[in-house]
Amino acid sequence: MKKILVTGATGQLGSELKVLSENYWQYEWVFADRTQISLDHLSKLKIQLELIRPNFILNCGAYTAVDKAESEPELADIVNHQAVKIIAQYANDNQAKLIHISTDYVFDGTSSIALTEDALNNPINVYGATKRAGELAALAVNPDVLIIRTSWVYSRFGNNFVKTMQRLLQERDTVSVVNDQVGSPTYAADLAKAMMDIISAQEWIPGIYNYSNEGEISWYEFVLAIQEIGGYTCDVKGIPSASYPTPAKRPAFSLLDKSKIKAVYEIVVPDYTDSLRKCMELLINSNFKRI
């Protein structure tokens, strides 16, 4: 039985893969948290991989605190770059298949058309720079690695934009949201399914791929969709990024072109509104159950 290792197992994507794993009983699954796979402890990481000896590695673990990374660049680099190189090297040396998750933050946001996998990289914050360094390191040591860039990830698990906004829309009379950053959200359950479709495909075709849900929206429009689905009455105001300064700059435009993953792996990419509705129904139902 082939073994699948999921790093970052308690995160949004790792948690969705755990739910999905029930449909893939033909594999032995190892869901590793920070104690089992130490992305911030490089010498320990090599030993841990040798002990698990996976056939597939789904590297969902990362340093994702975008603003905090500005003051912790060394730690962000260890987790997002140096650890990725070790995992990619292990996969190469042991004939394991690696799917590594990356980000739209490798781009600078100056494009006006959907970004392909070949678009120029020019990260504008520490998080994006360390994630791009991880991509390059993985590709340098392992030509068989498969990298998926994604954006605006949310889920019923963990802390994320959808859950935060769902709460604020119920608690406040007014919510202000930036309206000049454009992209597309990614429901982690959809991305998890895409990853398993790749593993299940007849042929492994490595390289960089983009994945997010279909649609081109701003964060402001995203909140309006959350409000509509939830039936909330809060007043949502659009504001420019300049009115909401953060330690890390964000790309103004990071819409990903999904043509490649759809063509090569025949991945079906749902529209963001359909996926958002599914996630919010799960969140609302789970809230009712708690009550």
> What does the pLDDT look like over 141-164, one tens digit per residue?
999 999 999 999 999 999 999 999
Q: What is the pLDDT of residue 86?
A: 98
User: What is the pLDDT of the chain when averaged over all its residues?
Assistant: 96
Q: How far is the C-alpha of 239 from the C-alpha of 36, rounded, in Å?
A: 43
Instruction: Show Cβ contacts of residue 217 under 8 Å, excluding neighbours closer than 6 positions.
Output: 182, 183, 184, 185, 225, 272
Q: What is the pLDDT of residue 284?
A: 86
Q: What is the pLDDT of residue 286?
A: 77
Checking if the pLDDT of 289 tops 60, the result is no
Name the pLDDT band for 179 (thresholds 50, 70, 90).
very high
- 19: tokens are 């739910």
Instruction: Show Cβ contacts of residue 98 under 8 Å, excluding neighbours closer than 6 positions.
Output: 56, 57, 59, 87, 88, 91, 138, 142, 144, 145, 146
Checking if the pLDDT of 185 tops 80, the result is yes
The residue annotated as part of the active site, out of 63, 90, 105, 127, is 127
Q: What is the pLDDT of residue 230?
A: 94
Name the pLDDT band for 291 (thresholds 50, 70, 90).
very low
Please say if 232 is a catalytic residue: no
Type of residue at 289:
K
Q: What is the pLDDT of residue 267?
A: 97
Q: How far is the C-alpha of 183 from the C-alpha of 42, rounded, in Å?
A: 34
Type of residue at 130:
T
Q: Residue range 259-282: average pLDDT?
A: 97
- 22: tokens are 């029930």
pLDDT tens, residue by residue, 200-225: 999 999 999 999 999 999 999 999 99
Q: What is the CATH number of domain 3-159+186-214+255-270?
A: 3.40.50.720
Q: How far is the C-alpha of 42 from the C-alpha of 290, rounded, in Å?
A: 40
Taking the domains of the chain in order of start, what are their residue ranges? 3-159+186-214+255-270
Q: Residue range 6-16: average pLDDT?
A: 97
Q: How many CA atoms lie less than 13 Å away from 160 in the CB half-sphere?
A: 22
Checking if the pLDDT of 290 tops 60, the result is no
The string of DSSP letters for the chain reads --EEEEESTTSHHHHHHHHHGGG-TTSEEEE--TTTS-TT-HHHHHHHHHHH--SEEEE------TTGGGT-HHHHHIIIIIHHHHHHHHHHHTT-EEEEEEEGGGS-S--SSPBPTTSPP---SHHHHHHHHHHHHHHHH-TT-EEEEE-SEE-SSSS-HHHHHHHHHHH-SEEEEE-S-EE--EEHHHHHHHHHHHHHSSS---EEEE---B--EEHHHHHHHHHHHHT--PEEEEE-GGGS--SS---SB-PBP-HHHHHHH-----BHHHHHHHHHHHHHHHHHHH-
Put simply, whether the predicted model's pTM sits higher than 0.85 gets the answer yes
| Location of structure tokens 């190469």 | 92
Q: What is the percentage of the chain residues whose pLDDT exceeds 90?
A: 97
